[in-house]
Each structure stands twice: as C-alpha cells, then as structure tokens.
Amino acid sequence: MDSLSRRRFLRISAATIAATSATAGVARLAGRAAGEGGPARGLHTVPTFCDICFWKCGAMAYVEDGKLWKIEGNPADPLSEGRLCPRGTGGVGAHFDNDRLKAPLIRRKRRGDDEWVQVTWDEALGHVAEKMQAIKATYGPEAVALFSHGLGGTFFKHTIRAYGSPNIAAPSFAQCRGPRDVGFHLTFGEEVGSPERTDIRNARCLVLIGSHLGENMHNTQVQEFAAAMDAGASLIVVDPRFSIAAGKAKHYLPIRPGTDLALVLAWMHVLVTEGLYDREYVAQHGFGFEAFAAELAPYTPEWAYPETGIEPAVIRETAREMARFRPATLVHPGRHATWYGDDAQRSRAVALLNALLGSWGRKGGFYAPTSMDVPGYPYPDYPAAPLGKVDNPGGRYPFALETLTTGIREATLTGQPYPIKGWFTYATNLVTALPNEAETIRAIQNLDLLVVVDVIPGEMAGWADVVLPEATYLERYDDLNVELFREPFVALRQPVVPPPHDQQPNWWIARELAKKLGLESYYPWKTIEEYLEFRLTKAGLSFAELKQKGILRGRPQPIYYEDGLTPEFPTASGKIDFYSTALRDKGFDPVPKYTKPADPPSGMFRLLFGRAPVHSFGRTQSNPILHEMMEENELWLNADVAARMGLADGRYVRLRNEDGVVSNRVKLKATQRIRPDCVYMVHGFGQRAVRLRRSLGRGASDAQLTTRYKTDPLMGGTGMNVNFVAVEAEA
C-alpha cells in the first residue's frame, strides 16, 4: 500500500517566508475600494467566468468589505453547472500572488540578463510602437508575429492584424490538440473543438486512450465522467500508467507507449471481421469502406499483441464491449495529442473507430454543438498582407488547419521564406510550450523586439525586451464568450476587484498600442463596455442583464441525428471518409498505417508527461493557494525497477536525456502504478523564472528534457513523447 499521509500533506512549504497566504493578502489589501460599484461594507457577488484554464467556466466571485474572498461556480452556467474545478476554486490566489507582475518593465542589459527598469505605460507602449514601426519600415508588417493563448488574446490579434501581420499562432494547435482536430476533420469534415463535443454524460461505454480525466481537470468532462460512472457506464482505459481513471475502469489496458495506433487498428479489425460495426450507419454515411476494410486485414489482435503488450483475448473482449453499447460508445479523442509524430493519423484512426461504432452525431457519442448568433464588432478591413503567412511555406504541411508556432520559430531562425523580427506573446510561455528550448532561445536572439504580456513573470518574460503586466481575469473585462456547446449561451467576464498595482486589462493594452501605432481607426469604441453593449444589442441581448446574471442562455437546438439533426460531412467525399482521397492526393496513407516506435535505449525510459488537477500548464504554480495543493511534481518510476536500481521512494533524482540535458532534482515516486519502460511527471514544474519565488526550482521540467521532437508530416504538429531519459540518483 502506498498512501499519502496526513502529515506529509500538511508539511509547510519551505517557501513560506517568501509566500503570502490568501488571508495575509487580504489583510494587506485592506482599505482598497471595491471594484465595480460593490459596497465598501458587507458581502456582494459578481458573476464572471474563469481564466485559470481555457474552459471558461461561469463563476460567482464573493467580495466582502471590498476585498476578494472566494469564487464559486455560477449555477446558471452550463459548463460548470455551479461547480468550479480545484483550479477555478483556487483562482482567487492569482489576485493575491505577491510575485505577479506589477508594472511595465523595459530590459536594461542583454537579453536574458533579467535586469529591468520600471517604466510608465506611456513609455513602455511608446517604445514598443517605435520598434514595431522600425521593423515595418525595413521588413514589412508581416515580420511581427503574435503568439497568443486564450480568449484574452482577442484584442491583441485585432491590433496585430490592423498593423498588417497575418502571423498569429497558438501552441494549442501544433503542440497540443492540432493532430486530433486534423484527424477528425479528415474523417468527418469537422473538428472535435473546445470544449470537446463529447457526450460523456450519456455514454454507456467510454474509452480513454492516454486521456487521464480526473487528473486532467476539464470541468465539464470530469463532471460528465463521474455522472457516467454513477450511471454504470463501462469504462475502458488504455494507458502505460495506472491513472486515476484506470482505477475506475472495467478494463485497464497497460499499453506499451507509442503503440496506440496498433491497438486501434486491431480493434477496428475485430469490429469489421466479426461484423460488429454499425452496418446501417456506415452504409448510409460512409465513403470507401471496402478499401478501408481491406487495409485492416493484416491488423489482427495476434499481430497487435507483440506491439502493444495487450493480449489478443483482451483486444477482442474490449472491442465486443464497445460494440455492445454502440452508438453510445464514446472513444474519447483526447486533447493533448502531439505524442509521436504520427498523431494526425492515430487521431484519424480514433475517428474511424468512432465511425464504425456510429457514435458521431449520436447520443452518448459526439453531439453537434450549437452557439448563439452574436455578431462581431464592425471594424475597418485589415490591410492586405502581401507576403502571406510565414509558418508553412509551400503548404509543406498540407493539412495544417491553423498557424504553426514552430513554423514561425523556424522562419525566425532561418529568415525563410521571409524574416521575422518581432515577437509579441500573450499569456503563453514559449520557452516551455515549444519543444527544444534551445531553438526557441536562438530564435529569440534573432529578434529586434520581444514583447511579453502576462500576469506572472514566467520564463518567457525573462527573455523579453518589454514586459507588460496584465490584470488578472478577476480584475478586468474581456471579450464575450460565445461558446459552441451542448446549448447556446453567452458569458461575460467583468471586473470583481480592481488590479492591485499598475496592471491593465488586455483590451486596454492592445488599444493603447494601436493608438501609438496610428491605428486609432481600428478602435472606434471608447470603452470596453461600449464595445460589449454594441455586440449584445446587435444580438438582441441586454448588457445590463448579462452583467447581473453573468450568463444568458439561448434556446436549445437539436444536437443528435436522432433528434432530427441532418447529418452533414464537409469532407472530400461529402461522407465519412473511411478512405481519404484528400490524403491520397497529397501522397499520404488514405487509411492509417502503423509504424513501430523506437525502443528505449538500454538503461533509459520513455519520458511521458501529463496534468495534475490543481495546476494549469506552468501558469498556476505561483498561485499561493494552488501552490500549497501541489508544490512540486514527482517522477513516477515503476517500484520494482526502482528497487533494482536501489532508489528509494521519496528520494531526489535527476533525469538525463539523450542529448545530455540534466533536469532539476525531482522527488521519486516509486510506484506500482506505471510500466517498467517509461517514467512520468506532471508538466509545468521545474520552473527557472527567478521572480516566481514559490515555483522556482521546485520539481523537474519535462519541457527542458524535450530536446527532440518528431514533426507530423500531415499538419506540422510536434510529437514530444519521443525523448528517453536515464534516472540518476541525486548526490
């Protein structure tokens, strides 16, 4: 038995001296006026929506005597149903984090030297505008790229487009969900989207392939996962690690890392050869089924056994289990899908498996999301960008649906197809989000300007020329959230309390920069309230009502074929592409084929990484409340292997990768809950940003060890689970 003792849990952080508890933070802010018209005394609530991850759950913030107290889910919100996840519940800590950015900064010395001068907003934005105009004069406006994550980037995208650059990217495509969305797009003509259109709550059989719901805390999905478990759904979990979800599974398949596609092909082989698939659905909606079925012939469970380590009888039994409950069998598409470089084809195989089960468009499978019709603001047209986008020259990755961050990085390094001289980042830490940080830092050193907008001074801010401190989500308006979901709704983020220092909201920063760039005409509105009210009025909605309720729900629409929704498949064939002519025409496999992954070199382990429920990426480790919930990550190593290596549970180790990169020290979790050929850690730790005193040097960074990556030839995603590490005892 390994159990987490109460004492261990209560251990007070060594960083306590530097840290501020939430309560101490409240005391320090005493006397400051309440945000938006709340009373100075007594309790009031402000509806808003969360920004601790990208899920955007509706929330009610509680303010007592003018001070932020706590935040709960907004019961009117269909995403959260009134219950935030632990990160959202602890979101108030972001406001109190005494290490957050407080004022605009300009770099004083060499890039990366971390020496700064505090300046006014006018000076900071004037400096940025001057540099941007110089880049435009020499290289054209296309030479400035924006990297942005989340809804808060809306106005920066607007300013950068108005300036004349089309180079706007987010790591959420090429470093995360991109391959999945491409795989589904090539099959059904539509993407899975975010929030995912997975009808988990109605699934009678749920299949998770490497997806660790419960540790991965996307609120709606976890709530629906629990509801499905409570209703007795059959759960099949495929993971090299005995995840939290695995502990609830009827079937746990401890797969050899990198062989998921072999398992999915074998499952499809069983469904087709045993005639268990949805014949009617496939006949009605499918294209190229015969050619597809012929391609599956070699992929027997016996063939898959030595690849995956999963016994043929188990492969057959689980395939039959899926068939038993179809179409209410959901093979979850996952989210972070950039694993091995063949990820779009693996995701396409998952899409095809769902197609065989008839789950796309069906209750308990994938619903068709709906949204409200809220028109955008009528801005002037953006200037033409004659150089085109820089990230994917010649359509090298023909199925890239979005701009490639790593393509922009490459152009910044090579100057081809044209030079990139300015980077603007919003709420994304490219040093850890992109694989091979050395490449990222070399690219940064090629720049004339690096501007970082963020709430916290992460690694990226350390490399910046100009750092612009943003107000947290609890202190600002944002654009409306017009969500694509089970039912249409629109949500408002509004200030709960004022920013404690000289921070500003993103819309203000983007607009003031635009003014300095002579782009006033792109910001015809005077206040953000005016902008929001304009959009809502056009949609026939009341801004006053939305401010009061936080959420306005629209009329539910049919979301399943069985409710009268007309099936539409905007693919090459207009049907579900079991055989993809689009792929064939570009020289790719029209039906996914399996390629064997490399074995770990002797004495090394495949490095796997994932999520913890109390942290979002590397963005929350400095939040005093969430920090306390998990101060550092652990290295999961199979207990028998650890015993053979003489490494005791709880001691510190370091990891060395094939390129000689050595990690920060990390505590060993010697556990039965993982295969012997891989190690696992939670992403986002081992931070090196010196101004984040709580998170500095706590745990190890998988990103630092991800020096190698394998690019997906279909869409340019970067497979990152291709690094091997040795585990070395810490002296």
Per CB under 8 A, does 205 bind another protein? no
Residue 55 as a binder of another protein (CB under 8 A): the answer is: no
State in angstroms the smallest separation of the CB of 294 from another protein.
34
Q: How far is the CB of 520 from another protein (least distance, A)?
A: 42
CB of 72 to another protein, least distance (A): 7
How crowded is residue 138: how many other Cβ atoms within 10 Å of its Cβ?
11
Window of 47-55, 64-72, 539-547, 653-661 that interacts with another protein by CB under 8 A:
64-72
The binding track of 349-368 with respect to another protein, each residue x by CB under 8 A or -, is --------------------
Give whichever of 6 and 110 is closer to another protein, judged by the CB atom.
6
CA distance 92 to 475: 11
Contact between 3 and another protein per CB under 8 A: yes
Q: Helix 405-414 and helix 437-445: axis angle, to 10°?
A: 50
Could you tell me which stretch among 11-19, 185-193, 586-594, 721-729 binds another protein (CB under 8 A)? 11-19
Give the helix/strand (H/E) hosting 465.
none
Nearer to another protein, 60 or 331 (CB): 60
Check residue 622 for interaction with another protein (CB under 8 A): no
User: Binding of another protein at residue 615 (CB under 8 A)?
Assistant: no
Question: In whole angstroms, how large is the CA radius of gyration of the chain?
Answer: 25
Range in contact with another protein (rule: CB under 8 A) among 86-94, 316-324, 507-515, 529-537: 86-94
Interface positions, 670-709, toward another protein (CB under 8 A): 671-676
24 binds another protein (CB under 8 A): yes
- Within 8 A by CB and 6+ apart from 41, the residues are 65, 66
Report the relative pairing of strands 652-657 and 666-671 from DSSP bridges: antiparallel
Q: Is the preceding omega at residue 327 within 30 degrees of 0, hence cis? A: yes
State the minimum distance, in angstroms, from the CB of residue 625 to another protein: 6
- Binding segment toward another protein, per CB under 8 A, in 30-38, 220-228, 298-306, 337-345: 220-228
CB of 404 to another protein, least distance (A): 33
Q: What angle do CA 260, 261, 265 make, to 5 degrees?
A: 120
Pick the closer one to another protein by CB: 213 or 349. 213
Residue of 36, 65, 215, 649 interacting with another protein (CB under 8 A): 215
User: Looking at 210-218, 462-470, 514-522, 645-653, which segment touches another protein (CB under 8 A)?
Assistant: 210-218
- Using CB under 8 A as the binding rule, whether residue 628 contacts another protein is answered as yes
Three-state secondary-structure class, residue 378: coil
Check binding of 49 to another protein (CB under 8 A). no
- The verdict on 85 binding another protein (CB under 8 A) reads yes
For another protein, what does the binding mask look like between residues 279 and 308, x meaning CB under 8 A? ------------------------------
State the Cα–Cα distance between residues 469 and 105, nearest whole angstrom. Answer: 8
- Residue 19 interacting with another protein (CB under 8 A): yes
Tell whether residue 667 is a contact of another protein (CB under 8 A). Answer: no
Answer yes or no whether residue 660 interacts with another protein by CB under 8 A: no
Counting contacts by CB under 8 A, is residue 84 touching another protein? yes
Question: Which of 521, 514, 179 minimizes the C-alpha distance to 335?
Answer: 179
Which one among 21, 154, 542, 557 touches another protein, defined by CB under 8 A?
Answer: 21
CB contact set of 110 (below 8 Å; sequence gap of 6+): none
- Which CB atom, from 246 or from 293, has the smaller least distance to another protein? 246
DSSP state of 397: S
Question: For another protein, which stretch binds (CB under 8 A), given 181-189, 600-608, 623-631, 658-666?
Answer: 623-631
356 Rama sector, left if φ>0, alpha if ψ -120 to 50, beta otherwise:
alpha
| Spacing of C-alpha 487 from chain mean position | 22
Can residue 480 be called a binding residue for another protein (CB under 8 A)? no
Tokens 């995208």, residue?
A: 157
18 vs 40 by CB, closer to another protein: 18
Count CB atoms within 10 A of the CB of residue 16: 12
Tell whether residue 89 is a contact of another protein (CB under 8 A).
Answer: yes
DSSP string for 405-424: HHHHHHHHHH--SS---EEE
Residues 92-111 close enough to bind another protein by CB under 8 A? 92
- Sheet of 466-469: strand order equals 116-118, 105-107, 466-469, 449-454, 422-426, 144-148, 168-169
To the nearest whole angstrom, how small is the minimum distance from the Cβ of residue 607 to another protein? Answer: 18
Instruction: Please state, in angstroms and rounded to a whole number, the distance separating the CA atoms of residues 49 and 88.
Output: 9
Q: Which of 76, 145, 213, 315 binds another protein (CB under 8 A)?
A: 213
Q: Quick one: tokens of 567?
A: 């099936």
Which of residues 217 and 372 has its CB atom nearest to another protein in the complex? Answer: 217
73 lies in the site for another protein, by CB under 8 A: yes
Cβ-based nearer residue to another protein, 22 or 351: 22
Are the CB atoms for 228 and 203 separated by under 8 Å? yes
**645 touching another protein, by CB under 8 A:** no
Number of residues in contact with another protein, rule: CB under 8 A? 63
Nearest distance in Å: CB 82, another protein: 8
Q: For residue 613, state whether it binds another protein (rule: CB under 8 A).
A: yes
Residue 89 host element (H or E): helix 86-89
Find the shortest distance in angstroms from Cβ 54 to another protein: 17
Backbone angles phi, psi at 10, to 5 degrees: -85, -5
Work out which of 209, 264, 625, 682 binds another protein, going by CB under 8 A: 625
Please measure the distance between the N-terminal and C-terminal CA atoms of the chain and give it in whole angstroms: 28
Is position 601 an interface residue for another protein (rule: CB under 8 A)? Answer: no
User: What residue type is 308 in one-letter code?
Assistant: T
Q: Which of 490, 630, 649 is nearest to 554 (CA)?
A: 490
Long-range contacts for 37-42 (Cβ within 8 Å, ≥24 apart)? 38/63, 38/66, 39/66, 40/65, 40/66, 41/65, 41/66
Q: Which is nearer to another protein, 253 or 726 (CB)?
A: 253
Least Å from the CB of residue 426 to another protein = 27
Among 192, 217, 372, 668, binds another protein (CB under 8 A): 217
Q: Which of 78, 86, 153, 719 binds another protein (CB under 8 A)?
A: 86
Q: Which amino acid makes up residue 223?
A: Q
Q: Are 666 and 654 in contact (CB under 8 A)?
A: yes
Q: Are 726 and 678 in contact (CB under 8 A)?
A: no
4 binds another protein (CB under 8 A): yes
311 phi and psi, to 5 degrees?
A: -65, 145
Work out the number of other CB atoms within 10 angstroms of the CB of residue 11: 9
72 binds another protein (CB under 8 A): yes
Instruction: In angstroms, give the least distance from the CB of 574 to another protein.
Output: 40
Binding string, residues 253-272; x marks residues near another protein by CB under 8 A: -x------------------
Handedness of CA 529, 535, 536, 537 (dihedral sign): positive
Among 428, 506, 638, 723, binds another protein (CB under 8 A): 638
CA 230, CA 523: separation in Å to the nearest integer? Answer: 50
Give the count of beta carbons closer than 10 Å to the beta carbon of residue 660.
7
**Burial class, 77, CB count within 10 angstroms (exposed 0-12 / middle 13-18 / buried 19+):** buried
Q: Shortest approach of another protein to residue 212 CB, angstroms?
A: 10
Q: Which is nearer to another protein, 71 or 490 (CB)?
A: 71
Residues that bind another protein in the complex, under the rule CB under 8 A: 1-4, 6-7, 9-10, 12-13, 16, 19, 21-24, 69-73, 82-86, 89-90, 92, 213-215, 217, 219, 222-223, 225-227, 229-230, 242, 244-248, 252, 254, 613-614, 624-626, 628-629, 638, 671-676
